[in-house]
């Protein structure tokens, strides 16, 4: 059995700064030595992680932040086993709001987990400890859970990434349920790329999980021009700095080609209210009913009151609530015909620990204003850092789309995160360069040199086929460029020549789903065609070339270095 020590139950000093040692409250159990799987390699080899303490680890107590509930797990939760098999090393288990019932990180007898930037403020919950150890750089990633926002709110409040997968994508077998039909295992990481790497290792159908699904993920990125939804009215509960930060996030998403579309948030808010204000709360009681009925006094408030409220409802009440939820889902569905992705604040405000303890129900509800509906309506979500406010506290946004959109959200989320220029969590370390995400779609890279360049007359032929811009670069120095005679609209022709007889030509590289590539090639008129183009870095892509016969009457414009400079030279005033 792994040797481990219980952490102190003492509250952290309220003056602790993010640079200080980890408060004891961040951990439930911290192992003396990392727990590793039998495999010595794997895609996650060398990475360290932590698991929220409602997730089973063989030979270690699972407490769900309730000491009276504690039991030693006989086997790993499915997701923990997959990560160990992939080569990751488990460092310990982390604190949480008791029975994953809360969004603030103060509802634990092991102590309140402070915000990693300012310990006077809440960390967010219920996956508070998992977010803290990622934000402070003690692990490379961590597992949380998410029923009403527990995998997103702590990410937004601590300047890290919180990936809330589609329901059923990650097995919840071996996880203490909160509301089992909507529970998800979530991933905290410093970057989107890390979160996606973990997702690929952890996901997979599990027959032991009643809600596991074989999901086909959408693997084509959102189009270059996409619509994102924003509620017509937003409530920030008096936090003006959060409101300003969200306006900045909207502008950033618009700079990526996003078109803002105003949506009616009322049905989403109505769905969110059902989680705690209808018979659906009975599922939370049912999850721990046997223990709760025997040990109710061992459960802390306000968790006790929330669980006890589930007793009052009948089976008929539950069916009524489920029907109401389905009716709301039907009202929400048309929204996705007008938008590709929904943009929301991850949390609309910050709150001090003292303020939370003074009014725990209202303050907790405020933190979940834009999270509770997501799992109920079967959506995927990704929280990414957006900015550091003038008061030094983080602000995060959440991108939401229908079930199966996990990788699409990741691609957009990575672009958004890396455009912020933020550092990693509370560590002060710079963001690494973005990496190509393993979306897995069958894609073709295409180099364009003329009328298909961004802003040029035929660029729409690329965008209509879901192509996205990758990079502006140049060819190897073995090409000559010509302005073709009589072409409408004007087009260049590029010809490969003998070494030493050419030059490097500026171009753009785009990526297109192979399913649309044939229709694109069919639009190319002779004597132009598609061939292999060698880039300056020695790599090769598909690209526009022309037959030598096309050059009769053409103007050699190689000295301009590219089509844009040639067009600009023609438009420049004489003299």
Report the interhelical angle of 406-419 vs 192-202 (nearest 10°): 160
Q: Which of 150, 171, 383, 386 is the catalytic position?
A: 150
Integer Cα distance of 149 and 104 in angstroms: 10
| Number of Cβ atoms within 10 Å of the Cβ of 360 | 17
Q: In the annotation, is 93 catalytic?
A: no
Q: Which of 52, 93, 167, 197 is the catalytic position?
A: 52
CB 200 within 8 A of CB 438: yes
Integer Cα distance of 382 and 305 in angstroms: 30
CB 347 within 8 A of CB 237: no
- What are the distances in angstroms from CA 202 to CA 80, 173, 181, 407? 8, 12, 19, 14
- What are the distances in angstroms from CA 461 to CA 339, 509, 532, 546? 21, 14, 20, 19
Strand partners, 503: 479
Burial class, 108, CB count within 10 angstroms (exposed 0-12 / middle 13-18 / buried 19+): buried
| Number of Cβ atoms within 10 Å of the Cβ of 172 | 26
Integer Cα distance of 151 and 283 in angstroms: 19
Q: Which of 108, 116, 126, 166 is the catalytic position?
A: 126
Burial class, 364, CB count within 10 angstroms (exposed 0-12 / middle 13-18 / buried 19+): buried
| Number of Cβ atoms within 10 Å of the Cβ of 33 | 10
Integer Cα distance of 152 and 160 in angstroms: 9
Integer Cα distance of 402 and 106 in angstroms: 31
Query: Which residues of 289-378 form beta strands (DSSP E)?
Result: 341-345
Residue 546's Cβ-side half-sphere holds a number of Cα atoms within 13 Å equal to: 26
Element (H, E) at 189: strand 184-189
Q: In the annotation, is 126 catalytic?
A: yes
Catalytic residue numbers, as ranges: 52, 126, 150
């Amino acid at each position: 059995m792994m040797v481990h020590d219980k952490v102190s139950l003492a509250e952290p000093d309220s003056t602790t700064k993010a640079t200080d040692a980890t408060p004891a409250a961040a951990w439930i159990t911290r192992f003396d030595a990392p727990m590793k799987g039998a495999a010595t390699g794997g895609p996650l080899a060398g990475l360290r992680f932590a698991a929220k303490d409602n997730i089973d680890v063989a030979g270690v107590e699972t407490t769900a932040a309730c000491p009276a509930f504690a039991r030693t797990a006989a086997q790993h939760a499915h997701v923990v086993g997959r990560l160990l098999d992939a080569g990751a090393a488990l460092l310990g288990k982390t604190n949480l709001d008791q029975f994953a019932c809360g969004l603030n990180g103060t509802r634990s007898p092991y102590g309140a987990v402070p915000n990693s930037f300012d310990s006077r403020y809440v960390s967010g919950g219920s996956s508070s400890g998992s977010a803290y150890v990622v934000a402070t750089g003690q692990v490379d990633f961590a597992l949380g859970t998410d029923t009403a926002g527990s995998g997103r709110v702590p990410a937004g409040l601590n300047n890290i990434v919180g990936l809330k997968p589609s329901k059923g994508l990650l097995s919840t077998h071996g996880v203490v349920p909160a509301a089992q039909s909507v529970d998800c295992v979530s991933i905290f990481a410093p970057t989107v790329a890390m979160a996606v790497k973990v997702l690929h290792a952890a996901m997979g159908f599990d027959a032991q999980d009643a809600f596991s699904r074989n999901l086909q993920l959408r693997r084509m990125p959102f189009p270059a021009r996409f619509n994102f939804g924003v509620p017509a009215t937003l409530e920030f509960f008096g936090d003006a700095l959060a409101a300003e930060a969200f306006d900045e996030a909207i502008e950033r998403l618009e700079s990526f080609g996003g078109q803002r579309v105003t949506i009616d948030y009322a049905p989403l808010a109505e769905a969110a209210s059902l989680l705690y204000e209808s018979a659906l709360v009975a599922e939370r009681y049912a999850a721990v009913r046997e223990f709760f009925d025997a040990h109710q006094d061992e459960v802390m408030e306000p968790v006790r009151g929330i669980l006890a409220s589930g007793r009052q409802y009948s089976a008929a009440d539950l069916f009524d609530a489920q029907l109401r939820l389905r009716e709301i889902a039907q009202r929400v569905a048309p929204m996705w015909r007008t938008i590709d992705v929904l943009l929301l604040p991850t949390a609309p405000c910050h709150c001090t620990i003292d303020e939370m303890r003074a009014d725990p129900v209202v303050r907790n509800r405020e933190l979940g204003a834009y999270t509770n509906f997501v799992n109920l309506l079967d959506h995927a979500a990704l929280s990414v850092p957006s900015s550091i406010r003038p008061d030094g506290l983080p602000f995060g946004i959440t991108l939401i789309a229908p079930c199966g959109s996990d990788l699409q959200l990741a691609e957009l989320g990575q672009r958004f995160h890396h455009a912020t220029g933020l550092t990693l969590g509370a560590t002060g370390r710079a963001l690494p360069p973005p990496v190509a995400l393993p979306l897995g779609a069958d894609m073709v890279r295409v180099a364009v040199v003329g009328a298909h360049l961004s802003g040029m007359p035929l660029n729409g032929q690329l965008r209509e086929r879901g192509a996205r811009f990758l990079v502006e670069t140049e060819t190897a120095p073995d090409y000559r460029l010509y302005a073709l005679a009589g072409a409408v609209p004007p087009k260049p022709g590029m010809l490969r020549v003998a070494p030493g007889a050419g030059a490097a030509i500026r171009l753009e590289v785009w990526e297109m789903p192979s399913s649309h590539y044939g229709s694109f090639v069919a639009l190319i008129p002779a004597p132009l065609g598609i061939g292999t183009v060698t880039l300056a870095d020695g790599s090769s892509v598909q690209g526009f070339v022309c037959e030598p016969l096309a050059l009769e009457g053409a103007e050699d414009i190689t000295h301009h270095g590219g089509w844009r400079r040639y067009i600009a030279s023609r438009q420049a005033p004489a003299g």
